[in-house]
Structure 1
Amino acid sequence: MPNAIDAPVTLAGIARIAGVGRAAVSNWRRRHDSFPTPVGGTDASPQFSLADVEQWLHANGKIERIRLRERLWPLYEVLGDRAVMGAALAEAGRRLLAADGVDQAVPVQSSLPQEAARVVDETVDAARYEGGRETFDFLLSRWLDVHVRQVSTTPNQLGQLMVDIALAVRADGAGGRSTRTVVLDPACGVGGLLLAADEGMREHGAEADSAALVLLGTDVDPVLAALAAARLGFARACRGGVAAEIRAGDSLRADPQDAEQADIVVCNPPFNARDWGHEELATDPRWVYGLPPRTEPELAWIEHALARLASGGVAVLLLPPAVASRRAGRRIRSALLRTGVLRGVVALPAGAAQPHSVSLQLWILQAPSTAGGPVSGDGLFLLDAATSRGASRRAQSIDWPKLSGRVLDAVRAHSWSGGHRRGAKEHLPEGCVIIPVMDLLDEQTDLTPARHVPETAMEAQAKLHESWGRLDGLIDEVRSYSRSLAAIALSADDDVASTVTVSDLDRARALKLWQGQTLPSELLHRDALPDGAVPVVSVPDLILGVWPGSWLAAAEVQEGFSAGSLTVAEPGDVIVAGVERAYRVWVQEDTPMVLGPQLYALRPDPEILDPWFLAGCLRAPANARQAGSHTSSSARIDVRKLQVLQLSLAEQREYGAAFKELLALEEAFRSVAAVGEGIIRGLGDGLAGGKLRR
């Protein structure tokens, strides 16, 4: 494969290639006159020649050389459309598998554009040097990262846990063992859960013969189905994998895999999909437990999974927590409890999967057995594992071995067959309870584990211990900032410092000023912020203290920015809320942000203005009062009238450092107050409950 492959690459792409953050690349571009000039894109998102970038990185000691697979990805990015990129990658996977003699029935992508077909050829050529599976996995990972909003995946550790739960329940319950096991994922995406099922079976040693395990998958998106087939094909080629059949189709409307019953169903169904076929499926025979309401698509997936299970089969579904408590689904939840097919609910820590800010749940279901059906006399198994980690929102921060061990220990301690051999309450781990069905059948039928699982004394003590530790750290921060800021001596000189307005700075091109715009409500998403999405901030969000309260997909932001219908603040911009009631000024860091009306982005020229100095001057209360209209609590502030000190750049940076420390001190004070309130509540509850240790 020639080394002269060239393609446009963004700042984010350069950062990935060099293994640094985007801010570092921006600094290189600002500090080095020799940095390549853009060949396309926009001012906010410039594009550079990959060949020029590689030459510059090598000449400046940033990287030895760009690997062939890194060179491939910009070629896929040029294709632009998500479906075309995915179809090209799936076709490349099919050809690589065929070259290795593996027939995985990956659909042929016959309608690829000419440019996409060329990228497929380049990929196949590069794989001769980089390895077929390695190249495919690398490109698939990049594709998933870019399209994280449109394509939801299940972390491998979570998928393995779901499979292990299904195997444990099936082995202990009515399902027993058979010589052949069929595993189904009716919304398989790119096949992550099916791969976990293959690995789980191998680890348990139950399916030494690959013919004894059959993997079935369906996805409504033909591109995802083709990618899943390719992934499973590479797994098969690598370790003599099992029979797998992936089909494109809508499992709810017209299931293409309905010819065979499954022993195990594992699924991470799409959340909040209102157009799931409520009207056309109103008389569907699968709705044994009631017709799912239009607003409860997750219940439709639950009933579909039960309909596809063989006698005694087990299903484990990953669901949002609202499914356990929404009023519209109470009737079906009650039916699932009365019939005994709903066996357990496990609450996971926030961050276990997308959306990362939500504590998702695993629902464990078991189809009635021809031998008499599952016994529900022990009630519903509830486990609250949401306290198994800290408050970070990233899945990488979860201690997966600890979490999986805790969940599996509790699952294995319970007798799913209904006997009392191991199911007595005194033998269950802490954080796990068995609630009689009749105790749950009330006006709400709320199955949220946290409502029924009492916090253990150990957990309460651990929370207090963690809070005291955080408080100590915050107090140390306050002391550190206080010492530094207390050393600042304010001048006693009454002379008025020379200032200049934002309007004057804008005219002098020392900064650029943009005003936020009305946001397209039809594109706004108000659920948890997924990775890769662009947060949106509005004045109401600031007033309510819930910002960012919504988000937009990255592709939608790029399209809106190019059309001039969206205002996007970039890292390093100073953002001002132009309303007295919600007046705030901050330097945007880390990620871009879309601004709503009455919000302003000021982008200072770094050779003239220090952003922290600018923000510090603008956020002074006296400055806001001077520029405000004072007509009402919702009075606006004329951002152009805000005053900025006239200082040299060196002096600005000194002031900027002090402003930055002052803001950090303010945040530390707020955190101290929040942690202190939590300590008072927790310690007060413990003392009131007679928990004082003497």
Structure 2
Amino acid sequence: MTAADISRLAGVTRATVSNWRRRHPDFPAPAGGTDTSPTYDLDAVRAWLSARGQLPEDTPADRLRTALRTHPGDAELALHLLPVVLAAARLDRGEREALPALRDDALLRWVRSTADDGAKGFPGTADAVYTPEAAGPLRAVLQCVVTDGAEAATDVLAERLLEDTGGTGTYLTPRPLADLMARLLTDSTGAFPVSVLDPACGTGSLLAAAASAGATELHGQDILAAQAAQAAVRLRLSAPETAITVRTGDSLRSDAFKGLTTDAVLCNPPYGVRDWGHDDLAYDQRWAYGVPPKGEPELAWVQHCLAHLAPGGRAVLLMPPAVAERTAGRRIRAQLVRDGALRAVVSLPQGAATPLHIGLHLWVLERPDSQAEAPGTILLVDAAPSENRDLDWATIDNTVLSVWRPYLADQDGYTGAPGIAAAMPVTDLLDEAVDLTPARRIRTASQQALRPALLARQASELYDQLHRTATDLVGLSADGDWPPADDRPRDWRTATVSDLLRGGALSLLHTAPPGRRTRSGPPQPRPEARSGTRPALTAADVFENRPASGTEADLPAGIALPLVQASDVLLTELLGVGRTAVARVAEPGETGCFLGPHLLLFRPDQRRLDPWFLAGFLAAEQNVNAAATGTSIIRVDPRRLRVPLLPLAEQQRYGAAFRSLHELRAAARRADRAAEDVTRLLSTGLTGGALLPRGHGSA
């Protein structure tokens, strides 16, 4: 095993493993590899970690990682195990739990028949061969499915596949961004397209968002067989009733869906790939708006997506901001604008998606209908805040959709939103540069729409709100006297969440597909039909400490959804860039809400565990880091989290402290938002000539 494997096994960083090697003479000597990339004997490493108390609980996921590492050709085997995960997930619970106990020959017979049945639906698995040596990894992956669920097993296989893909320019589309892109496909009546294509689907995040929104036919293609196979499995797990076709290959050079027209397209094209086939595709029929220059691969993807749309169909693409202004692409941009193919450009804040250092754009396109008149305007939206702030997807969603929906309903009458959105006449955009950067165009257009009296009244109201939030913050931060411990930090015995679950001190719930285990007990039954009116608590709601912003209608169909109760502890499951997990106790008004995806719900026995004490220690940074799993998608393994074993009275003292910290953090966030709102409004008013500086005109 490599140093990276050791870091995953121990739940520490690579730097920690390097420190162990340098500082501990008894650290196992390399058993192979090279001087720069040594490998180590698994048993020796496990013994060393165990002796130091650094070996976490041996979970099925850990055993699967070990089984893959010790099997020759482990990356290829990981790919071939993906359809096995899906086949096991589709079995009844009893049949699924019986699989790991089968003899090797019976297990191999079952797997071979399963592979033969599903090979056509999984790119890269048609030539799968399961030898007797594969029995150990097969049993490990099946045990992981039984214990942790099919999604967790898929994540472990994806970790190994990611190391071997060798792909460049391909990045995961974060789920909040994927959901926003999907919502932009909804028409003015609220209907969602039936069929959706993603020609650079990766592991399927955009198609999964489309399925959640209502699409029933999904088509995906990716140049990497490992990515395409993951997409096929993940989509079949999350949307089992949807028609899914996933193929492998280069969509520009070898379109697997040639001749297919769909209602909609979602796409996050490869970033910065210059060798996209310019010389080979110079006379391609897809270039209806002009042959893309070699340095404009994104404009090739734009036209590829338009070519797959039915007339009036819509596409949403994630684009680098330079595509909106580069000189080489201005003729194609002009033709897209002139023909009415480009409907909107939305600028996003930095960090919304990889690459994180730039603010990407969303392009909303529409296949022109020859029977309809070309639109006279294009919507430009600046959803990036004026200052660097933590990503607030609820605010971004609200900013974009609150202008897109009214524009879609009345494109001729839409007047825009000062400083945020403008419906730009096509004739104004067709200048020499054809610069489609929203911020530059909106800044000019918004000056004419400002109303001085209204802006002054809004500024006064925002100042009052800022004063109230600042007063709250000052009151909560008045007492900063926290007594120190003794000469050394306290040292206490701890138990894992897994131990507490077994002892009945708490239960764990998690939104998951039907049949997947969601608590320390039997799987939840398939849910009944829902009305769509009950509120749903999302991961963003917990992270931002705000009321439930979703409804059950926004959640995927066919998903078992737990209901939140008073004193439940909520923990965000996914770890984003530069942030750790957040935990808090459910508010009284959240009782009865559905639990949304990517949230973990801990229900403590309050005779044994104080809820705020539990929330504080579960979200401790060192605790979360030790329980984090995954590579491309990093999530918390809740059963590996640790909690101190303290008397209830002492727990309550810690719980009161954690609650006060939570209230302080919430007040600071409210004050920050209020300050941002008032400064942005005043800046817009001053620079647009609608407001005057204080004391203007006085002696």
TM-score interval (norm. to shorter)? 0.5 to 0.7
Q: Tell me which residue corresponds to 2:549.
A: none
State the shift of 1:269 in Å.
Answer: 1.1
Q: Tell me which residue corresponds to 1:473.
A: none
CA contact (8 A) 1:83 1:223 kept: no
1:252 aligns to what SS in structure 2?
A: coil
- In the superposition, the TM-score normalised over structure 1's length comes to 0.56
1:217-616 equivalence runs, <5 A = 217-236=220-239, 240-369=240-369, 371-373=371-373, 375-377=374-376, 379-387=377-385, 390=388, 397-415=390-408, 418-420=411-413, 423-425=414-416, 428=417, 430-454=419-443
Aligned pair 1:62/2:80, yes or no?
no
Q: Which amino acid in 1 is paired with 2:391?
A: I
C-alpha change, 1:691 and 1:144, in structure 2 (3 Å) is farther
Q: In the TM superposition, what whole-angstrom CA distance separates every residue of 1:14-68 from its partner, at most 9, and x where no partner exists?
A: 3333333333334444444443333233444433333333333333222442212
C-alpha change, 1:340 and 1:356, in structure 2 (3 Å) is same
State the shift of 1:145 in Å.
Answer: 7.3
Q: In the TM superposition, what whole-angstrom CA distance separates every residue of 1:475-495 from its partner, at most 9, and x where no partner exists?
A: xxxxxxxxxxxxxxxxxxxxx
Q: Which runs of no fewer than 5 residues in structure 1 stay unpaired?
A: 1-7, 202-206, 208-212, 392-396, 470-530, 533-678
Q: Which amino acid in 1 is paired with 2:121?
A: A
Which of 185, 203, 206 pairs up with 1:190? Answer: 203
Q: Tell me which residue corresponds to 2:518.
A: none
State the shift of 1:193 in Å.
Answer: 0.7
State the shift of 1:80 in Å.
Answer: 9.4
State the shift of 1:181 in Å.
Answer: 0.8
User: Aligned partners of 1:82, 1:387: CA distance in 2, in Å?
Assistant: 45
Q: Tell me which residue corresponds to 1:171.
A: 188
Aligned pair 1:158/2:158, yes or no?
no
State the shift of 1:406 in Å.
Answer: 1.6
CA contact (8 A) 1:84 1:116 kept: no
Q: In the TM superposition, what whole-angstrom CA distance separates every residue of 1:96-152 from its partner, at most 9, and x where no partner exists?
A: 457679968224341569699567525434334443332113332564478686342
2:172 aligns to what SS in structure 1?
A: coil
CA contact (8 A) 1:69 1:139 kept: no
State the shift of 1:158 in Å.
Answer: 0.9
State the shift of 1:252 in Å.
Answer: 2.1
User: Aligned partners of 1:345, 1:245: CA distance in 2, in Å?
Assistant: 30
State the shift of 1:298 in Å.
Answer: 1.0
C-alpha change, 1:431 and 1:417, in structure 2 (3 Å) is closer
CA contact (8 A) 1:87 1:112 kept: no
1:269 aligns to what SS in structure 2?
A: coil
2:315 aligns to what SS in structure 1?
A: strand
Q: In the TM superposition, what whole-angstrom CA distance separates every residue of 1:416-462 from its partner, at most 9, and x where no partner exists?
A: 55342xx123xx36411122111111221111112212299999x99
User: Aligned partners of 1:439, 1:193: CA distance in 2, in Å?
Assistant: 33
Aligned pair 1:136/2:135, yes or no?
no
CA contact (8 A) 1:159 1:192 kept: yes
Aligned pair 1:693/2:690, yes or no?
no
Say how many residue pairs are matched. 442
CA contact (8 A) 2:296 2:329 kept: yes
User: Aligned partners of 2:133, 2:80: CA distance in 1, in Å?
Assistant: 6
User: Aligned partners of 2:201, 2:18: CA distance in 1, in Å?
Assistant: 39
State the shift of 1:267 in Å.
Answer: 0.4
User: Aligned partners of 2:316, 2:57: CA distance in 1, in Å?
Assistant: 45
CA contact (8 A) 2:415 2:422 kept: no
Q: In the TM superposition, what whole-angstrom CA distance separates every residue of 1:56-89 from its partner, at most 9, and x where no partner exists?
A: 3333222442212123225545679897366344
User: Aligned partners of 1:227, 1:353: CA distance in 2, in Å?
Assistant: 20
User: Aligned partners of 2:342, 2:687: CA distance in 1, in Å?
Assistant: 38
User: Aligned partners of 1:408, 1:429: CA distance in 2, in Å?
Assistant: 15
2:177 aligns to what SS in structure 1?
A: helix
State the shift of 1:390 in Å.
Answer: 2.3
User: Aligned partners of 1:235, 1:688: CA distance in 2, in Å?
Assistant: 48
Q: Which runs of no fewer than 5 residues in structure 2 stay unpaired?
A: 93-113, 447-454, 471-576, 579-678
C-alpha change, 1:338 and 1:78, in structure 2 (3 Å) is farther
C-alpha change, 1:54 and 1:274, in structure 2 (3 Å) is same
Percent of paired sites with the same residue? 40
State the shift of 1:288 in Å.
Answer: 1.5
- In the superposition, the TM-score normalised over structure 2's length comes to 0.56
Aligned pair 1:105/2:121, yes or no?
yes
User: Aligned partners of 2:163, 2:400: CA distance in 1, in Å?
Assistant: 29
User: Aligned partners of 2:326, 2:73: CA distance in 1, in Å?
Assistant: 37
User: Aligned partners of 1:416, 1:282: CA distance in 2, in Å?
Assistant: 39
C-alpha change, 1:134 and 1:448, in structure 2 (3 Å) is same
* 187-196 or 256-265: bigger deviation: 256-265
User: Aligned partners of 2:323, 2:46: CA distance in 1, in Å?
Assistant: 50
State the shift of 1:294 in Å.
Answer: 2.0
Q: Tell me which residue corresponds to 1:24.
A: 16
CA contact (8 A) 1:183 1:197 kept: yes
User: Aligned partners of 1:116, 1:441: CA distance in 2, in Å?
Assistant: 65
CA contact (8 A) 1:9 1:74 kept: no
1:369 aligns to what SS in structure 2?
A: coil
User: Aligned partners of 2:75, 2:326: CA distance in 1, in Å?
Assistant: 34
C-alpha change, 1:447 and 1:112, in structure 2 (3 Å) is farther
Q: In the TM superposition, what whole-angstrom CA distance separates every residue of 1:166-201 from its partner, at most 9, and x where no partner exists?
A: 11xx335xxx858x7111111111111101111122
2:40 aligns to what SS in structure 1?
A: strand
* 148-157 or 441-450: bigger deviation: 148-157
CA contact (8 A) 2:31 2:40 kept: yes
2:317 aligns to what SS in structure 1?
A: strand
State the shift of 1:247 in Å.
Answer: 1.5
C-alpha change, 1:26 and 1:322, in structure 2 (3 Å) is same
User: Aligned partners of 1:410, 1:281: CA distance in 2, in Å?
Assistant: 38
Q: In the TM superposition, what whole-angstrom CA distance separates every residue of 1:329-373 from its partner, at most 9, and x where no partner exists?
A: 111100000111100101111111121112111000111236515
User: Aligned partners of 2:127, 2:261: CA distance in 1, in Å?
Assistant: 32
Q: Tell me which residue corresponds to 1:553.
A: none
1:241 aligns to what SS in structure 2?
A: coil
Q: Tell me which residue corresponds to 1:124.
A: 141
Which of 214, 217, 226 pairs up with 1:214? Answer: 217
1:313 aligns to what SS in structure 2?
A: strand
1:166 aligns to what SS in structure 2?
A: coil
